[in-house]
Structure 1
Amino acid sequence: MAMAVMSVATYGFTMIAARMLGPGAYGALVAMMNTLLVVSVLQLGLQATAARRISAAPAEVAQIEHGILRLSWRASLALGSLMLALAPLVNGVLRLDSLPTAIILALTAVPMTMLGGQLGILQGERRWYPLAVVYIANGLPRLLIGVALMAWRPDELTAIVAVALGQVVPVLCGWWALRGSRTTGTDVGDHGARSVLRETLHNSQALLAFFALSNLDILIARNVLDDHVAGLYAGGLILTKAVLFLPQFVVVVAFPTMSTAAERRRALTGSLLAVAGLGVCAILGALLLPRLAMVFVGGDAYAAIEPRLWAFALLGTLLSMLQLLVYAVIARQGRRTVLLVWAGLVAMVALGLATTSLGGLLSVVVGVDSALLVALVAISFWLVEQPAPSPSDDALTPA
């Protein structure tokens, strides 16, 4: 329920921003939000590492917490510094025409990354109430602050400031929840600093491949389409992101079970069916009630994409299923399967940059994601029949 509140609040922020900012400024905001989603792979890598390790070794929770929290602080400051150094480049690539906007975007990465370690510890210890509070705090403040600031000054700078301020609130809630945690342990054995960092980097690069695949299309759109059409594409992505994040709770529930070899196949099958079922409902809704769907996308200003809303819903369904499969790879600590995702990303960029229309770009993205999904499903179900691999043994079949 907390994740549903977070998702609705996040979706509400994007929907209101689309209306208050208009296609041009909203396209810039979406480009920044997608950049943050790509950068958030380190946050999600920390969360996955903490949750998996604590669930697998609850007797060693003090050592794990100590290592995760220390790594989270260091990683958040390092990433924030890197983003600050790259702010001029980001300003040019995203065509923001505002260095202060790029700087605020960089600063947002610091609390966002720190939050990953906190969420992972709470998830691994199954402390559901404080975890729910943090999830809600990760959505509602952004919505409330964002509406207030954009009502005062409706542009992309105030919108990203609202995102940055809203990202601080859940970190404070996480700190409060963990203030009495057992953080006096030392980094020993399998939970030493190098081991935790190595797993975090593996998890992060797997998630980076997915988030790059699911977010670079808007950057392609801003480089091959004019600002207005790119803004229309960004409006369609509101529905895509809603469908993508709607079944997020399935991943949270299924992830621990997918880490167990005996239950992996059942968890993967049931989770894929659940995600696909929710996606089919969204696609049918966009087909049968396109005018209602347009209300949530952004209104009459985005009417040109109404006939293609079902395709944006289909794209969200494909991405949500791909996300589940990537987490299945992380759960078994596989290494090489994720190379397929990187290959799909390369194909999408190469083909997408050759397009000249909104429909052409959308067709390329849906086509690449569909082919990748078929390949990952086939390989994943082949792998779950094999003995549990060591981290270096997960390999692609010759086919």
Structure 2
Amino acid sequence: MTANVAGYLLQLLASRWLGVAGYSPFASLLAVQLLCAVPALALQNVVAREVVRGAGVAAARGLALRCAALVAVVALPLVPVVSAVLSVGLPASAAALCAAPVLVLLSGEQGILQGRSRFRELAIVLGGAGILRVTPAVVVLAAGGGTAAALCAAAIGIAVAALGARLLVDGTGRPLVSGTPDDSAEPPTSADPSTARAAVTAGRPRRFTSGADVLPVFRAAQVQAALMALSSADLIVSRIVLDENDAGRYALGAIAAKIAFWLPQAVGVVLYPRMAQPQHSARAVRSALAVLTGVGAVAVAGAAAAAPLAPLLAGRDYAPVQGLLWLFALNGALLAVLQGALLSAIATDRTAPAAITWLGLAIGVGIMLGCAHSVSSLITIATATSALTTLVITVLALRTARETVESDSGIPDFGPSGV
């Protein structure tokens, strides 16, 4: 919540200080930065999954370093491409992309904490990283700095957060040697065959090798990339199909979508380690999807109720999107449910749902480019795309989770929350 509120505050203040026209490129570069964070999110999920299965911290950090190097190599040639596509300056494009490898290192530390279920320390890292990323950018914007300077300051803040996260992980007081299982885990009972098998796996050190170890991250990255692309495509398309002022208004409306999308992120973070354990996977997936749906409904209702405040907070120039904020929030809520379903796929190292998400994205973007000529038409198409994609992936995730439990235990999973 702290990180999310800080992020929304940055966008709200930027929309006022940069103006409608100036805020559009800033928001678009933040969307690009979110896409560049895909490898970081994928790495965190892979590290958390492997730590649950017994991987050590030294091996996980080595993987993070290799992934960060690869991301840096890929991001460098993308600077002029992003600059040309979004019609922004090279310094601003470089400032947005330079944060990508640093985010990878930060996410590696977060994955270690998540995999060991150290949620108190993880909460400190997540909240602290949000504050350290936003505060320097806000100071720069308040001093009259532009998009490039603000994004550069944010990247420096992320680097400081990554260093702090590493120090926090090393200072938790528990042994963090390669292959050492978390001593906080409860000992399994021999009466549960699936738990016993997991315990045998956790007792053996899992090691990453220099070449093949990156492949699980690539597989997880394509799932995360599909989600992030779907969540950011409409904002990027708005720069293409709408005029400068409408694109700025759309960017402000998209804040409601981001709130609904990121608000329940902790649900997936907490339940993900259980999703990675076959004996708990189905129940964890059902619980996650149920809570995400409930939080999404509250977010949509809250956006509708708070809509009259939008022009007061952001300025009268944004009044035309006031009546559409509930639709933006619905789009974000649907994407949050989709994220929960895709996390279950990563937890079991299954990436087939990514293909469906990419297909939905391609169809949606094609319709946006051909038919969207206003803020209302663009968000309507984006929301319809999210709804259909989420429905298909959610049904697939529930079916896959149930099959995983049945294949692992040999009996159907008819728990208290079963259907």
TM-score by length of 2: 0.85
Alignment size in residue pairs: 380
Instruction: Give the equivalent residue in structure 1 for 2:78.
Output: 86
What CA distance in whole angstroms lies between the structure 2 residues aligned with 1:315 and 1:184? 42
What CA distance in whole angstroms lies between the structure 1 residues aligned with 2:231 and 2:405? 29
Instruction: Give the equivalent residue in structure 2 for 1:171.
Output: 162
CA deviation map 1:138-170 (0-9, x unaligned): 111233212211111242122212221221121
Instruction: Give the equivalent residue in structure 2 for 1:11.
Output: 8
Instruction: Write the letter of the residue equivalent to 1:9.
Output: A
Long gaps (5+) in structure 2:
181-203, 408-419
1:42 aligns with 2:39: yes
Q: In structure 2, do the counterparts of structure 1 residues 254 and 129 end up closer, same or farther at CA, with 3 Å as the change threshold? A: closer
CA deviation map 1:77-102 (0-9, x unaligned): 33223222221111011110x11112
Contact 2:72 2:98 in 1 (8 A): yes
| RMSD after superposition | 2.2
Q: In structure 2, do the counterparts of structure 1 residues 219 and 283 end up closer, same or farther at CA, with 3 Å as the change threshold? A: same
* Counterpart pick for 2:383 among 361, 366, 374: 366
What CA distance in whole angstroms lies between the structure 2 residues aligned with 1:40 and 1:238? 18
1:302 aligns with 2:310: no
1:138-149 alignment, distance < 5 Å: 138-149=129-140
CA deviation map 1:306-362 (0-9, x unaligned): 011110111111111111111011112113122100101101111111122211111
Task: Give 4+ residue runs of structure 1 displaced > 4 Å after superposition.
Answer: 183-190, 293-296
Q: In structure 2, do the counterparts of structure 1 residues 150 and 240 end up closer, same or farther at CA, with 3 Å as the change threshold? A: same
What CA distance in whole angstroms lies between the structure 2 residues aligned with 1:184 and 1:258? 23
Contact 2:52 2:276 in 1 (8 A): no
CA deviation map 1:179-238 (0-9, x unaligned): 466456799865333443111111111100110111111111101111111111100001
Instruction: Give the equivalent residue in structure 2 for 1:74.
Output: 66
What CA distance in whole angstroms lies between the structure 1 residues aligned with 2:227 and 2:245? 27
Q: In structure 2, do the counterparts of structure 1 residues 185 and 288 end up closer, same or farther at CA, with 3 Å as the change threshold? A: closer
Instruction: Give the equivalent residue in structure 2 for 1:234.
Output: 251
What CA distance in whole angstroms lies between the structure 2 residues aligned with 1:287 and 1:132? 30
The offset of 1:175, in angstroms, is 2.3
Instruction: Write the letter of the residue equivalent to 1:362.
Output: I
Instruction: Give the equivalent residue in structure 2 for 1:396.
Output: none
Q: In structure 2, do the counterparts of structure 1 residues 272 and 189 end up closer, same or farther at CA, with 3 Å as the change threshold? A: closer
Instruction: Give the equivalent residue in structure 2 for 1:255.
Output: 272
Q: In structure 2, do the counterparts of structure 1 residues 222 and 133 end up closer, same or farther at CA, with 3 Å as the change threshold? A: same
Q: Which segment is superposed worse, 164-173 or 285-294? A: 285-294
Contact 2:59 2:207 in 1 (8 A): no
Any idea what SS the aligned residue of 1:386 has? helix
* Counterpart pick for 1:207 among 221, 224, 227: 224
What CA distance in whole angstroms lies between the structure 1 residues aligned with 2:121 and 2:307? 38
The offset of 1:28, in angstroms, is 0.7
Q: Which segment is superposed worse, 176-185 or 16-25? A: 176-185
1:152-231 alignment, distance < 5 Å: 152-179=143-170, 182=176, 191-231=208-248
* Counterpart pick for 1:22 among 13, 19, 23: 19
1:241-390 alignment, distance < 5 Å: 241-295=258-312, 298-354=314-370, 355-387=372-404
Identity among equivalent positions (%) equals 28
Contact 1:332 1:388 in 2 (8 A): no
Instruction: Write the letter of the residue equivalent to 1:140.
Output: I
Instruction: Write the letter of the residue equivalent to 1:348.
Output: G
Kindly name which structure, 1 or 2, has the bigger radius of gyration based on alpha carbons.
Answer: 2
Long gaps (5+) in structure 1:
391-399
Instruction: Write the letter of the residue equivalent to 1:16.
Output: L
Q: Which segment is superposed worse, 120-129 or 202-211? A: 120-129
Instruction: Write the letter of the residue equivalent to 1:192.
Output: T
Q: In structure 2, do the counterparts of structure 1 residues 375 and 299 end up closer, same or farther at CA, with 3 Å as the change threshold? A: same
CA deviation map 1:261-304 (0-9, x unaligned): 333232222221211111111211222332135556x2322111
Instruction: Write the letter of the residue equivalent to 2:362.
Output: V
Contact 1:104 1:160 in 2 (8 A): yes
Instruction: Write the letter of the residue equivalent to 1:207.
Output: Q
What CA distance in whole angstroms lies between the structure 2 residues aligned with 1:242 and 1:348? 22
Instruction: Give the equivalent residue in structure 1 for 2:99.
Output: 108
CA deviation map 1:352-385 (0-9, x unaligned): 1112221111111111111111111222222223
Any idea what SS the aligned residue of 2:350 has? coil
